[in-house]
Amino acid sequence: MIYRVCFVCTGNICRSPMAEAVFRARIEEAGLDGTVEVDSAGTGGWHEGDGADPRTVSVLESNGYDSHHAARQFQVSWFSRLDLVIALDTGHLKALRRLAPTTEDAEKVRLLRSYDPAADDDLDVPDPYYGGMDGFEECLELVEAASPGLLAAVREQVEGPAA
């Protein structure tokens, strides 16, 4: 059985493709690439079909990550095939939970930074779109910091609790 994770931000060109690329690398490193599928989408469709923001691509590539991407809009029908929907900020969390057709589907939606034990009370990954490269670098740092905790949670779902 395949476990499916989808990262969601606003337009699917900055934060969610970055999180998708980082988490896909963690999944491959963990040897789970045949068991876990990772993708991303946006709450809106403004950029549908576009590649990731060039600044996202630059930060990913300079840190050794794959950056192939085409933006998509999240569809309500996806809830039925997804196991985990990872929101990049509280606005996305609320929007996705409102879209969820069932309570069970709403419970699949989690904030990425909730998997970072060092995160403070603000669990949002700030949108770097209107800023400079430093915002994209901060976004990568926050995504990378949450990835080990998310990987542990996904591994537990796929393999069961550690002995």
The answer to whether 55 is a known catalytic residue is: no
CB 73 within 8 A of CB 99: no
Q: Which of 6, 14, 15, 53 is catalytic?
A: 15
| Among the listed residues 136, 132, 146, 159, the one whose alpha carbon sits nearest the alpha carbon of residue 31 | 159
Task: Say what the pLDDT of residue 13 is.
Answer: 98
Task: Say what the pLDDT of residue 161 is.
Answer: 80
Task: Say what the pLDDT of residue 62 is.
Answer: 97
For 64-120, what is each residue's pLDDT tens digit? 999 899 999 999 999 999 999 999 999 999 999 999 999 999 999 999 999 999 999
CATH of the domain at 61: 3.40.50.2300
Domain count, the chain: 1
The answer to whether 9 is a known catalytic residue is: yes
For 123-141, what is each residue's pLDDT tens digit? 999 999 999 999 999 999 9
Task: Say what the pLDDT of residue 160 is.
Answer: 86
Q: How far apart are CA 69 and CA 87, in angstroms?
A: 18
Share of the chain above pLDDT 90, in %: 96
| Among the listed residues 17, 7, 112, the one whose alpha carbon sits nearest the alpha carbon of residue 71 | 17
Task: Say what the pLDDT of residue 127 is.
Answer: 97
For 31-67, what is each residue's pLDDT tens digit? 999 999 999 999 999 999 999 999 999 999 999 999 8
For residue 42, give its domain range: 3-159
What are the structure tokens assigned to 153, written together?
A: 């949670």
Q: Which of 6, 9, 14, 139 is catalytic?
A: 9
What does the pLDDT average to over 20-36?
Answer: 97
For 141-162, what is each residue's pLDDT tens digit? 999 999 999 999 999 999 988 6
The answer to whether 24 is a known catalytic residue is: no
Q: Which of 4, 83, 97, 127 is catalytic?
A: 127
Residues linked to residue 86 through DSSP beta bridges, in sequence order: 7, 110
Task: Say what the pLDDT of residue 59 is.
Answer: 98
